[in-house]
Amino acid sequence: MIAHVGLTRMTPPMNPKWNGQFSCFDLVAKKDDCSRSIVQVGGIEIGGGDFVVMAGPCAVETEAQLMQTAEAVADAGARILRGGAYKPRSSPYAFQGLGVEGLKILRKAREATGLAIVTEVMSEEDVDVIAEYADIMQVGTRSMENYSLLEVLGSCGRPVLLKRGMTATLEELLRSAQVIAMAGNPQIILCERGIRTFETATRNTLDIAAVPVLKAVSHLPVIVDPSHAAGVRSLVPVLSRAAAVVGADGLLVEVHPTPEKAMSDGNQSLTFGEFRHMMADLQPYIELQQESRQLRPQLLVAGGAD
């Protein structure tokens, strides 16, 4: 039984500091009629009623690794394949990705499975080539404030998955979304991927409140990346569940055939079996959320406490 807290079309005040002044991100701010944007990728709707899971390895390493992963995540219910061909790494000595070779492997995986492709773009110089292969252009946490890249993405003709900078406020995330929208591209998906705090038990701190706050102030779809938030695979299923319950429109999850041998982010990557179990376990939570969304089309978010 789901509590019915009232069908209201009004957004109550957010953090009073924002003071209802959303002019710095007016193109992506909630519309008067509360209608939401749906980002269409082939037959997939992100931000509509569906919970869309994007899954795959941190980086494209080999054709075999990506093909096996694509088959496994598609069988488990993912709709979109992730995999970096251009990798921003914490260490300059770490694997930087296969570049165009990786993009070609991603294309093969799309042809074999029908999955759409999301992959990261780090530099404006690579936008055209990546847009030839990708269905969604991912902007990583380290690039959220790279305004020259964001401006070029305004005319790339592909939806953009914009990750929150690891030290960025939600307002800063929305301003970056505004830059892309102002440059001509309204197809934007926001992604909470954990922020840097004093906590060291997890790689980052998943700001779960970011989801209802973003959905209350913006019409854009919002997804969660539990992998980079957690940094360890054991936490990924429970954080995914939390994301579904708070109203996320989907997930971005790292999955690898042999995580212990992964060239990047193996610790946080799920095995195929773990991903399959997670997807099955998520179903009741997704249904609960979809039911509550019908009862409460407008999420209520209280104003900040003084």
Instruction: Please choose, out of 45-53, 55-63, 116-124, 184-192, the segment that lies near Mn ion by the rule CB under 5 A.
Output: 55-63
Does position 249 bind Mn ion by CB under 5 A? Answer: no
Q: Which of 47, 140, 221, 259 binds ligand PEP (CB under 6 A)?
A: 140
- x/- map, 50-79, ligand PEP, by CB under 6 A: --------x---------------------
Residue closer to ligand PEP, measured from CB, 84 or 257: 84
Binders of Mn ion among residues 126 to 185 (CB under 5 A) are none
Q: Closest approach of Cβ 121 to Mn ion, in Å?
A: 15
C-beta separation of 263 from 254 below 8 A: no
Q: Classify residue 306 by burial, with Cβ atoms within 10 Å: 0-12, 13-18, 19+.
A: exposed
SS3 category, 273 = helix
Q: Name the residue among 7, 31, 41, 33 with its Cα closest to residue 219.
A: 31
Answer whether 125's CB lies under 8 Å from 144's CB: no
**Residue 58 Cβ, how far from Mn ion at the closest point, in Å?**
3
Q: Which of residues 78-97 bind Mn ion (CB under 5 A)?
A: none
- Kindly write out the interface string for residues 156-185 of this chain, putting x where it contacts ligand PEP by CB under 6 A and - elsewhere: -------x----------------------
Using DSSP's 3-state secondary structure scheme, residue 250 falls into strand
Say if residues 219 and 228 touch (Cβ distance below 8 Å).
no
Please state, in angstroms and rounded to a whole number, the distance separating the CA atoms of residues 163 and 194. 10
Q: CB under 5 to 8 A by kind: which of Mn ion, ligand PEP, none does 30 bind?
A: none
In angstroms, the CA 91 to CA 165 distance is 18
Residue type, 45: E
Among 79, 203, 219, 228, contact with ligand PEP (rule: CB under 6 A): 228
Q: Looking only at residues 4 through 33 of this chain, which bind ligand PEP when binding is defined by CB under 6 A?
A: none
CB 180 within 8 A of CB 200: no
Of 58, 177, 181, 278, which one interacts with Mn ion (CB under 5 A)?
58
State which of residues 103, 265, 269, 274 lies at the interface with Mn ion (CB under 5 A): 265
The tokens describing 138, both together, are 């991912």
Cα–Cα nearest to 119, from 102, 95, 101: 102
Report the relative pairing of strands 52-56 and 116-120 from DSSP bridges: unpaired
CB of 195 to ligand PEP, least distance (A): 10
Task: Please identify which residue in 158, 193, 233, 256 interacts with ligand PEP, judged by CB under 6 A.
Answer: 193
Tell the smallest beta-carbon distance from residue 5 to ligand PEP (Å): 33
CB nearer to ligand PEP: pick between 140 and 159: 140
In order of 16, 70, 267, 268, 273, the CA distances from 67 in angstroms are: 49, 5, 21, 20, 16
Per rule CB under 6 A, is residue 97 in the interface with ligand PEP?
no
Task: Between 96 and 290, name the residue whose CB sits nearer to ligand PEP.
Answer: 96
**Site of interaction with ligand PEP (CB under 6 A):** 58, 84, 88, 140-141, 163, 193, 225, 228
Q: Which residues bind Mn ion (CB under 5 A)?
A: 58, 265
